[in-house]
């Protein structure tokens, strides 16, 4: 049994809802954003129609992923309420929401905790050097602002997903420093459930003229990350950005154990379609790995949720375990 356990890789059966693509930042590797005012916001009735179609389709997680409205914009309150309402709707329709919408105020995070089972924000890289390059026009990418989010998530006991973006102009030492900062915060709050290692993969919309991050370097980064991060943090890699099957398997051998949300579209990397679950399962099986679906909250965090949320999570674990879809 122990051998089987160590050969397990998880993924989250997910669907991404985008309240709006508009974003006041201009990260020059972005393939997601639209100019403020150029992206209609998703209405609750449109979301309800989508969610209705997803019921009985083995989708557990609703990832709420949004472009950002400036914290001082008169539209900020409306933007936040739309996100809150979409989460509430997802829960009412018995999905498990996970929100990742950029830096939030402490009060905003506190409110969203009531309607999310977990939340996330990529740390990307902490080196301030990127503020002169890829993040020159992205005030939300101030390293201290993002670190603050991770700290607040810890204080609020929000199970949290973060990660690094690789190949945007950082050095390898920058990567180790960013991982060490995550490890340090986790040792204080014990709230980081996953760290994503996301290789920069050029898309058709971006202006950043750089090669893709070489996936052949990933296993080495994963192995070092495994040394730096506490063992209870899972390392996640996006399989659609590691195209070669052998290198995907090498990433698992190096210590990655999760493949993130798998759904119809990768909204952040729209030029790289998700590899579907059956295909992944076959690739993994060829090397003795078992692909297992998981919920967007790891079980060790269940007691951080309100009683109401715990009931929905418990229901998911029971229903899906019975159907052999969800194992944790």
Binding-site residue set for [4Fe-4S] cluster: 23, 27, 30
Nearer to ligand SF4, 67 or 296 (CB): 67
Q: Which of residues 152-181 bind ligand SF4 (CB under 6 A)?
A: none
Q: Which of residues 6-65 bind ligand SF4 (CB under 6 A)?
A: 23, 25-27, 30, 32-33
* DSSP E strands, 34-170: 61-65, 96-100, 118-120, 160-166
Q: Which one of 51, 138, 233, 242 is in contact with ligand SF4 (CB under 6 A)?
A: 138
Nearest distance in Å: CB 270, ligand SF4? 12
Nearer to ligand SF4, 26 or 76 (CB): 26
Q: In this structure, are residues 69 and 79 in contact, taking their beta carbons and an 8 Å threshold?
A: yes
Residue owning tokens 């993002």: 146
* DSSP E strands, the chain: 8-17, 61-65, 96-100, 118-120, 160-166, 192-199, 234-236, 258-262, 290-293
In a 3-state reduction of DSSP, which class is residue 306? coil
State the binding site.
23, 27, 30
Q: In this structure, are residues 164 and 222 in contact, taking their beta carbons and an 8 Å threshold?
A: no
Q: Is 190 in the site for ligand SF4 (CB under 6 A)?
A: no
Nearer to ligand SF4, 70 or 226 (CB): 70
Q: Give the span between the Cα atoms of 24 and 45, in whole angstroms.
A: 26
Q: Which one of 67, 103, 202, 260 is in contact with ligand SF4 (CB under 6 A)?
A: 67
Which residues contact ligand SF4 (rule: CB under 6 A)?
A: 23, 25-27, 30, 32-33, 67-68, 102, 138, 140
């Amino acid at each position: 049994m122990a051998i089987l356990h160590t050969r397990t890789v998880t993924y989250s059966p997910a669907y991404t809802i985008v309240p709006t693509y508009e974003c006041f930042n201009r990260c020059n590797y972005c393939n997601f954003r639209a100019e403020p005012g150029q992206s209609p916001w998703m209405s609750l009735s449109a979301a309800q129609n989508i969610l209705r179609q997803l019921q009985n389709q083995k989708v557990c997680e609703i990832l709420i992923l949004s472009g950002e409205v400036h914290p001082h914009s008169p539209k900020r309150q409306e933007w936040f309420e739309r996100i809150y309402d979409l989460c509430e709707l997802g829960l009412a329709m018995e999905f498990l929401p996970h929100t990742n919408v950029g830096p939030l105020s402490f009060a905003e995070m506190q409110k969203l905790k009531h309607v999310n089972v977990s939340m996330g924000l990529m740390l990307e890289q902490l080196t301030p050097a990127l503020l002169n390059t890829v993040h020159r026009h992205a005030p939300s990418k101030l390293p201290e602002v993002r670190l603050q989010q991770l700290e607040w998530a810890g204080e609020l006991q929000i199970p949290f997903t973060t990660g690094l973006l690789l190949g945007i102009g950082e050095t390898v030492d920058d990567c180790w420093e960013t991982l060490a900062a995550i490890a340090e915060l986790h040792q204080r709050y014990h709230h980081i459930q996953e760290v994503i290692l996301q290789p920069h993969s050029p898309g058709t919309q971006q202006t950043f003229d750089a090669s893709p991050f070489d996936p052949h370097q990933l296993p080495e980064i994963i192995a070092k990350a495994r040394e730096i991060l506490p063992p209870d943090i899972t390392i996640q890699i996006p399989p659609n950005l590691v195209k070669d099957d052998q290198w995907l398997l090498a990433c698992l051998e190096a210590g990655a154990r999760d493949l993130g949300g798998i759904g119809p579209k990768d909204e952040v990397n729209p030029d790289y379609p998700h590899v579907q679950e059956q295909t992944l399962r076959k690739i993994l099986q060829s090397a003795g790995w078992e692909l297992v679906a998981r919920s967007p909250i790891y079980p060790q965090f269940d007691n951080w949720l309100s009683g109401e949320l715990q009931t929905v999570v418990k229901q998911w674990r029971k229903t899906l375990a019975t159907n052999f879809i969800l194992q944790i």
